[in-house]
Amino acid sequence: MTTLQAYRFAPDAHDIQAAALSRHAGAARFAFNRGLARVQAALAQRDAEKTSSVACAELTPVPWALPALRREWNWAKATAAPWWAECSKEAYSAGLDQLAGRPKHFGDSRSGKRRGRRAGFPRFTKRGKSRDSFRYTTGSHGPDGDRHVKLPRIGRVKVHEPMAALTGRPADGTARLLGATVSRTAGRWFVAFTVEVDREVPTGPSRRQRKARTAGVDLGVKHLAVLSTGEMIPNPKHLAASLRRLCTASRAYARSKPASAGRRRRAARLACIHARVASQRRDGLHRLTSRLATTHDAIVVEDLHVAGMVRNRRLARAVADTAMAEVRRQLGYKTGWYGCRLVVADRWYPSSRTCSGCGGRNPSLTLSDRMFVCPSCGLVIDRDVNAAVNLRSLVAASMSETVNARGGDQKTPLAGQVAVKREPGTAPAGKTGGASPQGEAA
């Protein structure tokens, strides 16, 4: 199995190297802003030609493609940036690459040709207000031993931790280095290597003894995840644990004088707290998803509408702290790595309101009810465990949806039912009209 994988390390750069890294990030930002100015000028010229009474044979071309942006930059760099030779050419190419295609995406989003969240027109970036980053795709870059990386025009930079996980793969021919992205987060520099890796997907039982062949996973706020085996993984609530320090740092930043040295120090303190919370959350989610993918043969999760859940003012902070969408994303590729199968249940499948014992429904269940009581068979069970058991039953019910499928146009069968294929235009067996119970909201 050939896949793309990233290895991220933190360089331990001294003052001269840190200044060179900042200079390269500034070069990428300069190329981005200059290219955006050229695009805006070309768009304004096209609008003037369209509204002019004099007919034009050809309208002014807009250089929003990467080859056009590079040609224009190479033609004008000697006069626009006489200092361009101080930085690697890859820094300027990285800034132009960030800009390429964005105006077209904006136009396609406005006309409805581009799906997803509506894209806005690109804006000029400013030092201290935008993320500092640049990328190497050519040149002599990559690991240099186990504790150093080499970057063009910057030199040999030491890293904080050993890179044996990365250096061992190119040596035995199972990986190929494609590029390196250097970025700064909360005052710390990071270098991420993009590697094309040949992974061996296990076909049989792995070295670890798998606990269960299939597991239903119900994500929530009270517990980070509840498994169909009854295991409840607690929610660490990293944001809530750091909320007091975060409020104090935010208040100090808001009260500081704009454009002052104190404001920069308080901004750095605030960024460090945010970065620490994000790192804690990322580490916990990686541990959880890796354990699930390596100890099960099939995992069933729900297709949650997280963007709609965060619109609830009372639940927005708690939902954002759990990072449910990140769990789904990590399971999407880790299940392929470890020979596991990911099944995504339909968004409208009533897993919480369906009895895992008899398949009956309890439509009166509310969010405040933490126990599920079946009105038919009298089963009393935790609502999250009941939902996880119902999700696990979908694999036995011949669920046809597999890895990374969205399932927006198909309904998930209830527990004990089997999805049967039928001819287009015909009604389901036993149904002559009316709405299907699977279409009701959970």
- Domains identified in the chain and CATH numbers: 2-198 (no CATH), 214-234+282-442 (3.30.420)
Q: What local confidence, expressed as pLDDT, does residue 55 receive?
A: 61
- From 97, 218, 303, 321, the catalytic residue: 218
Structure tokens belonging to residue 56:
């034009």
Per-residue pLDDT at 169 = 81
C-alpha to C-alpha distance for 88 and 246, rounded to whole angstroms? 38
Give the per-residue pLDDT at 141: 92
Query: Which of the following is catalytic: 132, 346, 384, 401?
Result: 384
**Helix segments in 138-242, DSSP class H:** 164-172, 238-241
Distance between CA atoms of residues 33 and 305, nearest Å: 36
Q: Which of 132, 144, 302, 401 is catalytic?
A: 302
pLDDT for position 425: 41
What distance in Å separates the CA atoms of residue 232 and residue 218, rounded to the nearest whole number? 10
Q: Which amino acid is at 228?
A: S
The mean predicted confidence, pLDDT, of the chain is 84
Per residue of the chain (442 residues), give pLDDT as tens: 888 999 999 999 999 999 999 999 999 999 999 999 999 998 888 888 888 766 666 777 888 889 999 999 999 999 999 999 999 999 999 999 999 978 878 888 888 888 878 888 899 999 988 999 999 999 889 999 899 999 999 999 999 999 988 988 877 778 899 999 999 999 999 999 999 998 888 775 554 555 568 899 999 999 999 999 899 999 999 999 999 999 999 999 999 999 899 999 999 999 999 999 999 999 999 999 999 999 998 999 999 888 888 988 888 999 999 999 999 999 999 999 998 899 999 888 888 888 888 888 888 888 888 888 888 888 889 899 999 999 998 876 544 444 443 333 344 454 444 343 333 344 444 343 333 333 333 3
Residue 418 carries which side chain, given as an amino acid letter? V
**pLDDT digit string (tens) for 363-387?**
888 888 888 888 888 888 989 999 9
Closest CA to 233 of 214, 243, 218: 218
In 10 A of CB 339, how many CB atoms? 17
234, 223 in Cβ contact below 8 A? yes
Query: Exposure of 242 by Cβ count < 10 A (0-12 exposed, 13-18 middle, 19+ buried)?
Result: middle
The reply to whether 132 belongs to the active site is: no
User: How far are the Cα atoms of 14, 32, 34, 64, 83 from residue 77, in angstroms, in the given order?
Assistant: 30, 13, 10, 17, 9
- Of the candidates 264, 24, 279, 280, which has an alpha carbon nearest to the alpha carbon of residue 157? 24
Q: Is the dihedral of CA 260, 264, 269, 274 positive or negative?
A: positive
pLDDT at residue number 60: 76
Hey, what's the torsion of the CAs at 15, 18, 22, 27, to 10 degrees? 100
Residue 139: which residues within 8 A CB-CB, separation 6 or more?
88, 90, 152
pLDDT at 402: 45
Q: Is 384 a catalytic residue?
A: yes
Helix (H) or strand (E) holding 296: strand 296-302
DSSP state of 438: G
Is 198 labeled as catalytic in the residue annotation?
Answer: no
pLDDT of residue 87: 95
CA 247 to chain CA mean position, Å? 26
Residue 166 token pair: 């990365």
